[in-house]
């Protein structure tokens, strides 16, 4: 099945800096890659996603890039703010399930200091 690796496990930045979180996946047939933000004690919230037919997608301060050849994708957050502090999870679809289920990385705890 699919395997998703996520790095780093923790990331500390100063307010206003950029943050980058990277993920790799194992199955070249995966075609959908969402990112979720989970604040302490709350549900995972979908913040951005990308499909395999595009290389980059932006939404205000966040962007995701995809390199299908290398089988990795990244989340970029610019002008970070304290409210960006949370755990971020990347995920990929599992072709073995008909692209229906998600395999998640282990998460990155982002801490933005004022």
Partner 1 sequence: DTGVSQDPRHKITKRGQNVTFRCDPISEHNRLYWYRQTLGQGPEFLTYFQNEAQLEKSRLLSDRFSAERPKGSFSTLEIQRTEQGDSAMYLCASSGTSGRSEQYFGPGTRLTVT
Binding residues for partner 1, per CB under 8 A? Answer: 4, 6, 32, 34, 36, 42-46, 49, 89, 91, 93-94, 97-107
Q: How far is the CB of 105 from partner 1 (least distance, A)?
A: 6
* SS3 at position 15: coil
Instruction: Indicate the residue among 47 and 78 with the shorter CB distance to partner 1.
Output: 47
DSSP label at 87?
E
> Minimum distance from CB of 98 to partner 1 (Å)?
8
DSSP 8-state assignment for residue 80: -
CB nearer partner 1, residue 18 or residue 101: 101
Query: At its nearest, how many Å lie between partner 1 and the CB of residue 93?
Result: 7
Q: Which CB sits closer to partner 1, 8 or 16?
A: 8
Residue 62: closest CA among 50, 51, 52, 48: 48
Residue 101 CB, nearest approach to partner 1 (Å): 5
**Helix, strand, coil percentages for the chain (3-state, nearest 5):** 5, 55, 40
The residues near 27 (Cβ < 8 Å, ≥ 6 apart) are: 1, 2, 3, 92, 94, 95, 96
Choice between 44 and 74, CB closer to partner 1 = 44
Tokens representing residue 69 in the block? 């050849």
């Amino acid at each position: 099945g699919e395997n998703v690796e996520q790095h780093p496990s923790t990331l500390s930045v100063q307010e206003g800096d950029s943050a980058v979180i990277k993920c790799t996946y194992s199955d070249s047939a995966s075609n959908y890659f969402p990112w979720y933000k989970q604040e302490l004690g709350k549900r995972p919230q979908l913040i951005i996603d990308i499909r395999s037919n595009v290389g980059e997608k932006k939404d205000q301060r966040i962007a995701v890039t995809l390199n299908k050849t290398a089988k990795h994708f990244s989340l970029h957050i610019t002008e970070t703010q304290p409210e960006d502090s949370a755990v971020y999870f990347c995920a990929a679809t599992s072709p073995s399930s008909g692209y229906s289920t998600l395999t998640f990385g282990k998460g990155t705890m982002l801490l933005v200091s004022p």
